[in-house]
A and B are shown apart, each in its own frame.
Chain A
Amino acid sequence: MTRRKFIQKLITAGSVIIAGTSWLASKAAPRKFVRAFRVKKYPGSLRPLRDVSKQSKWSG
């Protein structure tokens, strides 16, 4: 093997290692945005929509 070929193999191997490590790191890092899906049924009880014109007792 010539010195040139050795260096080329070294660069290729290094690139594969760096690319593989980056891919693993991206898989391990938490996603920055996840949209939640709806459930089909509300887990609590439902009531009919009443008159909304009355001011709320809640703060805000």
Chain B
Amino acid sequence: MCLIKPGQSGECRVRINVDGVLRTVVYGYPCSIHIDPVEKKPLFHFLPGTGILSIATAGCNLHCLNCQNWQISQANPEESQAVFCPPGKLVELANQNHCPSIAYTYTDPIVYYEYTYDSAKLARDKGIRNVLVTAGYINEEPWKRLLEYVDAANIDLKFISDDLYQRICSGTLKPIQNALVLAKASGVLVEVTNLVIPTLNDKPEQIRELAHWIKANLGSDTPLHFSGFYPQYKMKNLPSTSLQTLETAREIAISEGLDYVYIGNVRSKEGENTYCPNCKNVLIERKGYTILQNRLKDGRCPDCNKEIYGVWK
């Protein structure tokens, strides 16, 4: 929790204390609005093949040394260009472009909380679904309130170690684990992303511990994406993650009992597809963000009829 003195901003840079009143400087002012494939979030079990209107404002309440979006997440709003797009306009844009959902992403919707909340509420009223792509570093009460209007979330579980969260991200592990559990318990479609960083969190025992925690606390049906690291921002001294490391991570996670494990940021034929956890047949075949084949029938495997975790329409 930030204690913000009058005239100062919080760690995120976009929430400030003006004469004892907390103010957000980015409400309605996204620095980025694009339509992305939903698979890019990454979300593989939510409305596959659709476009998702994706927004972000400047700022973030974490300061990850390896942030891929640091130009906007670690930016001061005074130095950040934005567009004026209040919640009503945002929802209108989604409708005009035939996007069935809106993603609050790129930086972290937690720091533009009020803008996310009001937009999500309005979008829900108009039949548009809401997706959060977040590091999950938020307290319980605001998280519970926001989740009421959220349909799906990709939440980073960057490390299974509190020490690494503190050293690399200037955060802590426990609030994120709590946020994950609460999101899943609230009925939100949850997918987890773990960025595999060579020498930091790529050891088999770390992967095993992470997968074990997900299975025990979120359920074996929770999709897990292992993402390849590329040297970025303040972590340019480490090499990129090899495909072999990612494939090993995937094998470990599957052996720990997770049903859906993917590889991202690096091309991997098997790691991009969805397989039935029961009969192992391919259900959704992907190439990058493109769906080549979707064999699901009413959210079930067409071969063994197993119900597949996801929001399919």
Residues on A facing B (Cβ under 8 Å): 30, 32-39, 42-50, 52-56, 58-60
Contact = CB atoms under 8 A, between A and B. Distances in A.
Determine the main DSSP class of B at the interface with A. mixed
A30 B80 CA distance: 31
Given A38-B114, A39-B24, A43-B78, 12 more contacts: A32-B140, A37-B21, A39-B16, A39-B18, A39-B27, A42-B29, A43-B77, A49-B33, A49-B83, A49-B85, A59-B68, A60-B105
Contacts of A32: 139-141
Contacts of A48: 83
Contacts of B152: none
A16 to B, nearest CB: 30
A35 B224 CA distance: 32
Contact of B34 (A39, A42, A52): A52
A44 B81 contact: yes
Q: Most chain-B CB neighbours within 10 Å: which of A38, A55, A60?
A: A60
A56 B142 contact: no
B106 interface: yes
A53 B103 CA distance: 14
Contacts, number: 106
Interface in B214-240: none
Interface string B56-86: 1010000000001100100011111111110
Contacts of B28: 38
Contacts of A46: 29, 81-84
B243 interface: no
Contacts of B79: 44
B24 A38 contact: yes
B291 to A, nearest CB: 16
25 contacts: A30-B1, A33-B142, A36-B15, A36-B27, A39-B25, A42-B29, A42-B82, A43-B78, A44-B29, A44-B76, A44-B77, A44-B78, A44-B79, A44-B82, A45-B82, A46-B29, A52-B33, A52-B53, A53-B35, A54-B35, A56-B106, A58-B32, A58-B68, A58-B106, A59-B68
